[in-house]
Amino acid sequence: MNYDFLIVGQGITGSIVALQLKKSLKKFKLIEVGNPNTSSKVAAGIVHPISLKRCNLSWRGREFYEFSDSFYKEINFESNTELYKPYKLLRIFASFEEQNNWIGKTNNKIYKDILSLNSKKIDNLKNRFGSGIVEICSRLSVNEFLDFVSSSFLKSKVLIKDVFKAHELKLKNNRFHYKGDIYSNIIMCDGVNALKNPMFNYLPIIPNKGELLKVFSTVLPTEIINCGIFSLPETKNIFTIGSTYSNEDQKNKITIDAKEYLMKKLNKIIEIDDIEIMDQKFGFRPTSLDRKPLIGEHPIIKNLYTVNGMGSKAILMAPLLVRELLDYIYQKKPLDSMTNINRFSKKINAENIDYAKSLEL
């Protein structure tokens, strides 16, 4: 069979690629192995345009948020389920300096519809310096979103549950041949697995481990709380607490250090004596050397593309970045220079060159 695209990876990004190709009436297949410890499987799904640590708009933050907000609302309509909901995020200030900075931003026209000062008392919180509200914030129920995409494409036999084997791929007459099918284009959405793949393992992808806790609490507020870590309400008295960030710990297991770190941070804003830890999970986010996404076409193998390196912001960034990649493929619109992987073309090595040569039938 002939297809327009093969998508490798059905995490957040691969799912978004598939949904946009479906909307564009393209013919494609989607391959996914089903690793439980991808960043997508443990992502909290909180979406907003602010860098909370510095109280600034994130890079292209408003643009990403507005596009993603529209995209996920369409998914709600298609799925007939509220996978994506608006929230207000409460930022607990750590100092008077942070409080003053936040107040200053609320008087700036750029931020006036995004940030406000919280005047309502929140029960049980240790809130010495006060708190602010991120007014433009939403939450995507990530696992339910991935399940919706998976079930939709399994029914139509578009999704293949299998391991992608790069060395079984061949190239003939500018078409990719893989396991009996022919593809005009391939988009790799394989996150940290790209490091094991001779296609794009020259890119400076840094696995960033994140751990989260699932807890039972009768004292945590029902708002999303951020104090360097976050508390996210799930169902009655059940919350997700996260997340850690580690470039050094590459072990495929949860750690006591992460649990203690999260509970210590939580204890700064609320008494934790009655909080019961129910579960702990981990995943590896794909981050990049310069902290910008990795989008674009392979420097040697034409019609082979990657969408990667978004770290914890894939839910925010991926809908628009995928749209920009597809516009590049079909309309030759240039990619943002800050995301285009050609900025790392000098890092391509002998292994990548040998792999590209090996593809020719």
Do residue 334 and residue 200 come from a single domain?
Answer: yes
- Residue 318 pLDDT: 98
From 92, 108, 140, the end of a domain falls on: 140
Q: Domain range for residue 54? A: 46-140
Q: Classify residue 6 by burial, with Cβ atoms within 10 Å: 0-12, 13-18, 19+.
A: buried
Q: Tell which wins on pLDDT, 220 or 54.
A: 220
d(CA 327, CA 334): 8
Q: Which of 225, 280, 258 is nearest to 90 (CA)?
A: 225
What tokens appear for 236 in the block?
A: 């009655």
Helix (H) / strand (E) element for 47: namely strand 46-47
Do residue 30 and residue 170 come from a single domain?
Answer: yes
Task: List the Cα angle 320/325/331 in 5-degree steps.
Answer: 115
pLDDT band at 53 (very low <50, low <70, confident <90, very high): confident
Do residue 95 and residue 72 come from a single domain?
Answer: yes
From 288, 317, 347, the end of a domain falls on: 288
Does residue 176 contact residue 169 with C-beta atoms inside 8 Å?
A: yes
The 10s digit of each residue's pLDDT in 204-231 is 999 999 999 999 999 998 899 999 999 9
What tokens appear for 132 in the block?
A: 């602010």
- The verdict on pTM exceeding 0.85 is yes
Q: Which of 257, 270, 264, 217 is nearest to 239 (CA)?
A: 217
What tokens appear for 326 in the block?
A: 């597809």
Radius of gyration of the chain (CA): 21
Do residue 29 and residue 55 come from a single domain?
Answer: no
pLDDT at 37 over 70: no
d(CA 304, CA 185): 6
Do residue 213 and residue 197 come from a single domain?
Answer: no
Domain of 278, CATH number, reads 3.30.9.10
State what percent of residues in the chain have pLDDT above 70. Answer: 99
- DSSP annotation of 301 reads S
Do residue 133 and residue 58 come from a single domain?
Answer: yes
Do residue 222 and residue 257 come from a single domain?
Answer: yes
d(CA 328, CA 322): 10
d(CA 54, CA 57): 9
Do residue 22 and residue 122 come from a single domain?
Answer: no
Does residue 64 contact residue 317 with C-beta atoms inside 8 Å?
A: yes
Q: How many structural domains compose the chain? A: 3
Do residue 67 and residue 28 come from a single domain?
Answer: no
The 10s digit of each residue's pLDDT in 149-208 is 999 998 889 999 999 999 999 999 999 999 999 999 999 999 999 999 999 999 999 999
- DSSP annotation of 344 reads G
What tokens appear for 37 in the block?
A: 């410890």
Do residue 80 and residue 127 come from a single domain?
Answer: yes
From 288, 323, 350, the end of a domain falls on: 288
